[in-house]
Amino acid sequence: MRKKFNVTKNLRKIIFNLNQYTAGRSIEEISDKYNLDPSRILKLGSNENVLGTSLKAKKAASEALKKVNIYPEVTSDKLASKISKIYKLKNVGVVVGNGMDHIFEMLARIFLDNGDETIISVPTFSCYELCTIWAGAKPRFIPLIKDSYQLNVKKILSLISKKTKIIFICSPNNPTGNLMKAEDIKTILESTNKIVFLDEAYIEFGGKTLVSWIEKYPNLIIGRTFSKIYGLAGYRVGYAFIHKSLQSYYLNSITPFVVSRPAQAAAFAALDDNDFVKKSIKMAKEGREFYRREFSKAGIKFLHSDANFITIDTLPLKAKVVAIRLLERGIIARDCSTFGFGGDKLLRITIGTKEQNKKVLQALLICLNSG
Ligand SMILES: Cc1ncc(COP(=O)(O)O)c(C=O)c1O
């Protein structure tokens, strides 16, 4: 007789350590739950670009739709070489992925074995932990320095061992918003030959990229995305700068055709839309300034941000409580409890347009002051 199917016996052991990824809430979900008009909901919980998408990108994508019966370029080479040309770096290549999230999957595939370790400064973006666990490796967490949210370089260096494969750094960091000090990143790179993955998903909004450092430090890989500054989160395009000596190994391991034809076309065209990029940066800068000024006046504790979001400290209230109160008013912000490591007092808000920021401020003043 056929034996009964045993679910748990078929799964890899590490799968039991995983929980489903917690994404920002959607407009549909919140309008259903709170019986709100979807057109009045402000979606400010996922750091998307509230200005929408570059028109040039949209046009290119709809043109590409005419050829979706044909496979796209296998590793998005045209897009990769356009990005390379912009940066003019000799020994540095560009690899493209299905969002930066796919680049993390590739890191796990290429670098991590069972029993290896990664070092992650927390609170931060959860995908570094996820890709470590997928590979059967172990994440070692080091809290960012209290209040400044900077890297604890001494601790990071003291945790490096034979087992260490990747040190993850996020700058500007999600969810705290601050750039990490370049001299700290340099100290780490000067002290180790382990892979250092620097996540620059938000760098365009207020920082200076360290891409040129890869020439000197071949162990440095820098991740970027089209989801934020280019407003292409729905198309899923990310990329990484990687030393030429590693690039062919990366490309040999990649899943073919991971970026769809319209997505490659949209990203390619978005690179030419400097006006859209400038507008997006201006909006983030002005929004941060507005919030800094108003939060200071109102006595709301906030973290310094160099990104397209700003994070407040909700104590003595829990961030979760404030997030629910905002949802009831049609504002989706991100309760950072799921980030762990002190995130339960942090509420992250994507910078919006002037009108949106004013609405958020008014709602926050009510939600933070109602006991
Ligand atoms: C720090 C950071 N890195 C990477 C990503 C993922 O980017 P992508 O949309 O390209 O997968 C995000 C998304 O929110 C992020 O906050």
pLDDT tens column, 168-206: 999 999 999 999 999 999 999 999 999 999 999 999 999
Q: C-alpha distances in angstroms, 119 versus 65, 94, 122?
A: 41, 24, 10
Residue to mutate (ligand 1; options 96, 101, 224; most atoms within 8 A of CB): 101
Q: Which amino acid is at 218?
A: P
In ligand 1, the atom with minimum distance to the C-alpha of 46 is 14
Residue 38 has pLDDT above 90, yes or no: yes
- The region of weakest confidence among 216-225, 274-283, 339-348 is 339-348
Residue to mutate (ligand 1; options 53, 170, 174, 339; most atoms within 8 A of CB): 174
> Confidence band (pLDDT; 50, 70, 90) for 19?
confident
Choosing among 3.30.1490.20, 3.50.50.60, 1.20.1280.50, 3.40.640.10, the CATH entry for 55-270 is: 3.40.640.10
The pLDDT score that the predictor gives to residue 340 is 81
Element (H, E) at 218: none
Considering the segment(s) 10-52+274-368 as one domain, its CATH architecture is Alpha-Beta Complex (3.90)
Nearest to 74 by CA among 96, 104, 55: 96
The pLDDT score that the predictor gives to residue 343 is 82
How many Å lie between the centroid of ligand 1 and the Cα of residue 174? 9
Q: Which amino acid is at 202?
A: Y
The pLDDT score that the predictor gives to residue 371 is 64
* pLDDT tens-digit map of 204-215: 999 999 999 999
CA distance 121 to 339: 12
60 contacts 265 by C-beta, under 8 angstroms: yes
* pLDDT tens-digit map of 60-117: 999 999 999 999 999 999 999 999 999 999 999 999 999 999 999 999 999 999 999 9
* pLDDT tens-digit map of 297-354: 999 999 999 999 999 999 999 999 999 999 999 999 999 998 888 889 999 999 999 9
The pLDDT score that the predictor gives to residue 17 is 84
156 contacts 142 by C-beta, under 8 angstroms: yes
How large is the average pLDDT for residues 14-30? 87
How many Å lie between the centroid of ligand 1 and the Cα of residue 125? 8
CA distance 258 to 76: 9
For tokens 């939600």, what's the residue? Answer: 367
How many Å lie between the centroid of ligand 1 and the Cα of residue 148? 22
206 contacts 212 by C-beta, under 8 angstroms: no
Q: How many CA atoms lie within 13 A of 55 on its CB side?
A: 1
99 contacts 236 by C-beta, under 8 angstroms: yes
In ligand 1, the atom with minimum distance to the C-alpha of 225 is 10
Residue 1 has pLDDT above 90, yes or no: no
In ligand 1, the atom with minimum distance to the C-alpha of 101 is 11
Nearest to 334 by CA among 28, 46, 3: 46
The pLDDT score that the predictor gives to residue 196 is 98
- Contacting residues for 183 by C-beta, under 8 A, at least 6 apart: none
Residue to mutate (ligand 1; options 228, 229, 230; most atoms within 8 A of CB): 228
Ligand 1 pocket at CB < 6 A: 47, 99-101, 125, 170, 174, 199, 201, 225, 227, 233, 238
* 319-328 and 27-34 helices, crossing angle to 10°: 80
**Mean pLDDT, the chain, integer:** 96
Structure tokens at 138: 């172990």
Percentage of the residues of the chain whose pLDDT score is greater than 70: 100
| Domain locations along the chain | 10-52+274-368, 55-270
Distance from the first to the final alpha carbon of the chain: 64
